[in-house]
């Protein structure tokens, strides 16, 4: 079962597009947009959470700094300060508190060659109501993860950033996993080292020790960094065999948050106390119920 199919967000009524808040109908993207044909764009996935006081966006500067790296790789003009104001403006315009925010920068139409230098850049922010895309409350269980027959694109070919075209391999891996009845696919490299899932980083727990999987081809996840800091986790390369021998496995991502793995390939795992506690701690931090790193939250 593909869980993301169960989570189809309603379209936002207002977007921020090229410097102003406008109705979604006004976005006016060309059918010949370069990004539509070649994936020449960069995006982010950001969350806003309700809290005791006002809603707050979680770790926005880190998301925009990663987006900036992707924009620089593609030679796309990018201004983090205007995206910061845009995120706040879109959340307010759509009256959203618990939301997913999607900033996107991409190349418009202007030629079907691969030289992007003459092309116009477009900048967009959308926001929509959202809960975790691998939400155990929706599925009623921990997720089922399957090793993919595909490889994550190596960093030597494509920097592990959120470049639009880079996600095609993830889509293919996800389709394969869904066909086999799994929720999510795991990329493992040709030497047997775990890279990441299609849209999440991987953690493993053994005898109470929490390890964040480290791999040069994996996205440097912001949720991963948050969990390392909250759990005092070690970072190191991990093999698939180690995963098969783990006490607990969990995935992290802005959208997925902290989600337990209940089956890995043919092996069933009982979601354990460490994952449960870390998921609860993450939930408290993102909602501002914890004193930890309040500076991670930007109130809207
Ligand atoms: N890996 C990939 C490939 C991703 O797309 C994502 C984000 N969905 C992650 C890991 C997790 O990153 P973050 O915690 O920054 O959302």
Ligand 1 atom nearest 63 alpha carbon: 15
Length of the chain: 300
Q: Under DSSP, is residue 125 helix (H, G, I), strand (E, B) or coil?
A: strand
Q: Report how far ligand 1's centroid is from the alpha carbon of 252 (Å).
A: 8
Q: Would you say the CB of residue 297 lies under 6 angstroms from ligand 1?
A: no
pLDDT tens, residue order, the chain (300 aa): 233 433 455 666 899 999 999 998 888 899 999 999 999 999 999 999 998 889 999 999 999 999 999 999 999 999 999 999 999 999 999 999 999 999 999 999 999 999 999 999 999 999 999 765 555 554 457 999 999 999 999 999 999 999 999 999 999 999 999 999 999 999 999 999 999 999 999 999 999 999 999 999 999 999 999 999 999 999 999 999 999 999 999 999 999 999 999 999 999 998 899 999 999 999 999 999 988 888 999 999
Q: Would you say the CB of residue 199 lies under 6 angstroms from ligand 1?
A: yes
Ligand 1 atom nearest 223 alpha carbon: 14
Strand ranges (DSSP E) for the chain?
14-17, 20-23, 41-43, 46-49, 56-58, 99-107, 121-129, 143-147, 184-188, 194-197, 201-206, 209-213, 234-236, 248-253, 257-264, 267-268, 297-299
Q: Would you say the CB of residue 160 lies under 6 angstroms from ligand 1?
A: no
Q: Would you say the CB of residue 70 lies under 6 angstroms from ligand 1?
A: no
> Phi-psi category of 232—alpha, beta or left, where left has phi over 0 and alpha has psi -120 to 50?
left
Q: Would you say the CB of residue 219 lies under 6 angstroms from ligand 1?
A: yes
Ligand 1 atom nearest 226 alpha carbon: 14
Q: Would you say the CB of residue 222 lies under 6 angstroms from ligand 1?
A: yes
């Amino acid at each position: 079962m593909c869980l993301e199919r169960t989570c189809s967000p309603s379209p936002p009524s207002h977007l921020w597009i090229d410097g102003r808040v406008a109705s979604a109908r006004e976005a006016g993207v060309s059918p010949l947009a370069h990004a539509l044909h070649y994936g020449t764009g960069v995006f982010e996935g950001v969350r806003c959470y309700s809290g005791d006081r006002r809603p707050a966006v979680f770790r926005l500067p880190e998301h925009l700094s990663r987006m900036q790296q992707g924009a620089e790789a593609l030679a796309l003009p990018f201004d983090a300060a205007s995206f910061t104001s845009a995120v706040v403006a879109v959340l307010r315009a759509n009256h959203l508190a618990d939301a997913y925010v999607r900033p996107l920068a991409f190349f418009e139409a202007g030629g079907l060659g691969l030289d992007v230098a003459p092309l116009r850049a477009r900048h967009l922010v959308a926001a929509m109501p959202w809960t975790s895309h691998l939400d155990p409350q929706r599925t009623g269980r921990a997720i089922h993860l399957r090793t993919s027959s595909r490889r994550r694109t190596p960093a030597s070919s494509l920097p592990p950033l959120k470049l639009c075209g880079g996600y095609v391999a993830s889509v293919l891996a996800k389709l394969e996993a869904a066909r086999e009845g799994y929720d999510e696919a795991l990329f493992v490299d040709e030497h047997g080292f775990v890279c990441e899932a299609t849209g999440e980083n991987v953690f493993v727990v053994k005898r109470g020790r929490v390890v964040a999987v480290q791999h040069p081809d994996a996205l440097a996840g912001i949720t991963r960094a948050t969990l390392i800091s909250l759990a005092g986790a070690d970072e190191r390369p991990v093999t698939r065999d180690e995963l098969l021998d783990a006490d607990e496995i969990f995935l992290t991502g802005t959208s997925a948050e902290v989600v337990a793995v209940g089956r890995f390939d043919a092996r069933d795992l009982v979601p354990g106390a460490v994952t449960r506690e870390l998921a609860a701690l993450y939930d408290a931090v993102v909602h501002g119920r914890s004193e930890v790193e309040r500076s991670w939250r930007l109130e809207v």
